[in-house]
């Protein structure tokens, strides 16, 4: 099975890429979704976060107050690294398990969306990588439209590789300045290129440590 890893800066079109690929019946897993799952009440990662950051990161219902955690960690690189050390292992475990399940089911291609793909060295688990990107101006406008402040945007951008560095590291580029149709056409070309490479049907997904 061919594993395509998709990454990109915030607001650059990763989620849209996932939606377009699902419409083509390509199985897609988004680690942003997994990041929410692993901090649900009762999950070990939530207990670790409470131990590290205190119970005031929980809301009245006992769920993680993501806004409060973001306020703390995005202005403090050491706290962000502490949080990532808690979250990244269970997230990786889940998406790798899903890839193995899709391989067992006989899928030819599967996609994982990982914002910090290269930062966490997850590209080692992928056969191909694609960076989704747009201009800095468009990115800023999209994030402002989500209600983010300029400070929030700046802090989150500082927590990731610059878009140009992601583009240089990736095998493919998806440029999202144009229409959804153009976006979809670029993904189609990537799938065609990736699947043109012969990989035996019994080859399991990577299991690097």
Q: How high is the pLDDT of residue 201?
A: 46
Query: Does residue 202 lie in a domain region?
Result: no
Instruction: Give the domain range for residue 94.
Output: 2-195
208, 205, 112, 110: CA torsion to nearest 10: 170
Q: How high is the pLDDT of residue 158?
A: 86
Query: Does residue 66 lie in a domain region?
Result: yes
Q: How high is the pLDDT of residue 197?
A: 65
Q: How high is the pLDDT of residue 204?
A: 58
Query: Does residue 177 lie in a domain region?
Result: yes
Query: Does residue 205 lie in a domain region?
Result: no
Query: Does residue 206 lie in a domain region?
Result: no
pTM of the model: 0.89
Q: How high is the pLDDT of residue 206?
A: 58
Rounded Cα distance between 149 and 170, Å, is 29
Question: From edge to edge, which strands make up the β-sheet containing 2-8?
Answer: 28-30, 109-113, 2-8, 128-133, 172-175
Question: Looking at the 3D structure of the chain, how many domains does it have?
Answer: 1
Query: Does residue 190 lie in a domain region?
Result: yes
Query: Does residue 203 lie in a domain region?
Result: no
The CATH number given to whatever domain includes residue 12 is 3.40.50.300
Beta bridge partners of 3: 110
- Series of mean pLDDT values for 10-residue runs along the chain (209 residues): 96 96 97 96 96 94 93 90 96 97 96 96 96 96 93 88 96 96 97 75 51
Query: Does residue 21 lie in a domain region?
Result: yes
């Amino acid at each position: 099975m061919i594993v395509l890893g998709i990454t990109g800066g915030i607001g650059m079109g990763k989620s849209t890429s996932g939606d377009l690929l699902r419409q083509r019946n390509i199985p897609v897993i988004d680690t942003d979704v997994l990041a929410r799952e692993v901090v649900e009440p009762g999950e070990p990662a939530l207990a670790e976060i409470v131990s590290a950051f205190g119970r005031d990161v929980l809301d009245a219902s006992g769920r993680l107050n993501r806004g409060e955690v973001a306020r703390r960690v995005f202005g403090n690189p050491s706290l962000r690294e502490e949080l990532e050390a808690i979250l990244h292992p269970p997230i990786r475990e889940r998406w790798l398990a899903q890839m193995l399940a899709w391989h067992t089911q006989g899928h030819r291609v599967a996609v994982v969306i990982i914002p910090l793909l290269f930062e966490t060295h997850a590209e080692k688990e992928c056969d191909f990588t694609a960076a989704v990107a747009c201009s800095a101006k468009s990115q800023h406008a999209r994030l402002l439209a989500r209600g983010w402040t300029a400070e929030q945007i700046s802090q989150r951008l500082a927590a990731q590789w610059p878009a140009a560095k992601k583009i240089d590291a990736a095998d493919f580029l998806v440029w999202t300045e144009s229409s959804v149709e153009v976006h979809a056409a670029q993904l189609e070309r990537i799938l065609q290129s990736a699947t043109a490479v012969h990989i035996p049907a019994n080859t399991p997904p990577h299991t690097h440590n």
